[in-house]
Amino acid sequence: ISEFMDQDAVDAVSQRYEVVYDAGLVDRPEELAGLLAEARALVVRNRTQVTAALLEAAPQLKVVGRLGVGLDNIDTAACKARGVAVCPATGANDLAVAEWVIASAMLLFRLAFSARAQVIDGLWPRGACMGRETAGKALGLVGFGNIAKETARLARALGMRVLAYDPYVPADDPAWAGAQRFESLTALLAASDAVSLHVPLTDSTRHLIDAAAIAAMKPGAILLNAARGGVVDEDALVGALRSGALGGAALDVYEHEPLTQEYGQRFAGLDNLILTPHIGGVTVESNERVSKLTMENVVRVLEE
């Protein structure tokens, strides 16, 4: 296990298997490769790069457990070729991500986040903090899979109008009862007060939100990204925030993670920009659910 997980789940599986749990292994790939010489299972989060070369170092490997969803750090084709099962913890952190999206959207609409530093400095920016209510606003979901549907459920409870673009969810899918279906990404962007991204990172979604897409958004709209950093052209987003074309953004994921101090400076001085360190899907509760489900998945494959 090369990244952090819930200790109870580690303890439970340790009763039946020899377990090496070291959350720092992700940053020591050579040591990890050495440990994999005899390993039958590997458990990772999103940072460990499960490449064809790493699989070469793991001749006994039967299963890769993924503590979360999103398989962009795993060479799934190489796993398939080697007969290694890949098991994401589907569904176990949907609620955590959905709550991150809604909380971020509400803070951004209220212009509340940007006031923090001024309040500390003894300024009292009430005029600049005349925000907007969330109820009645249009939330545009790009991708309408598990997390987007959970986000839609919470958004509807707040009185938001939910719009979604996902050409892979058929028009007769019952889930569309909860969202207005858009067949064009551009049309969705133009109709949304808040746009939230819920697509996996693939060759076809890389920079899906580029300068042209951002230009299609409503003036002053907000962008929420708890999908993958590579889905957004970060330079274009920073430009749109600096020019005021967008009203705000919340980023949980970045084109290069973890951020270095130098890289992080690109976001300095931007008001109404919420930045979190890829914790959208990570809460005390979801960590327990994700860890438990991942271990169940791994043990099932090992005992097949």
Q: Catalytic amino acids?
A: 228, 257, 278
Nearer to ligand NAD, 97 or 298 (CB): 97
* Burial class of 60 by CB neighbour count within 10 A (0 to 12, 13 to 18, 19+): exposed
Q: How many residues does the chain have?
A: 304
230 interacts with ligand NAD by CB under 6 A:
no
Compute the distance between CA of residue 45 and CA of residue 68 in angstroms, rounded to an integer.
Answer: 6
Q: Which of residues 177-206 bind ligand NAD (CB under 6 A)?
A: 198-201, 204-205
Tell which one of 50, 61, 63, 226 touches ligand NAD (CB under 6 A). 226
Q: Which two tokens stand for residue 8?
A: 């109870």
Tell which one of 44, 107, 169, 194 touches ligand NAD (CB under 6 A). 169
Q: Which among 28, 33, 31, 24 is positioned nearest to 4, based on CA atoms? A: 24
Tell which one of 6, 75, 166, 193 touches ligand NAD (CB under 6 A). 166
In which residue are the tokens 């979360």 written? 68
Nearer to ligand NAD, 29 or 229 (CB): 229
Strand partners, 103: none
Decide: 32 and 48 in contact? Cβ < 8 Å.
yes
| Candidate segments 27-35, 62-70, 237-245, 265-273, binder of ligand NAD by CB under 6 A | 62-70
Spell out, one character per residue from 121 to 150, where the chain touches ligand NAD: x when CB under 6 A holds, - when not: ---------------------xxxxxxx--
Nearest distance, CB of residue 211 and ligand NAD, angstroms:
18
Range 102-116 burial, b when 16+ CB lie within 10 A, else e = bebbbbbbbbebbbe
Nearer to ligand NAD, 74 or 111 (CB): 74
Compute the distance between CA of residue 49 and CA of residue 62 in angstroms, rounded to an integer.
Answer: 17
Question: What region, left, alpha or beta, does residue 224 occupy, with left being phi > 0 and alpha being psi -120 to 50 degrees?
Answer: beta
101 interacts with ligand NAD by CB under 6 A:
no
Residues that bind ligand NAD (CB under 6 A): 68-70, 93, 97, 142-148, 165-169, 198-201, 204-205, 226-228, 252-253, 278, 280-281
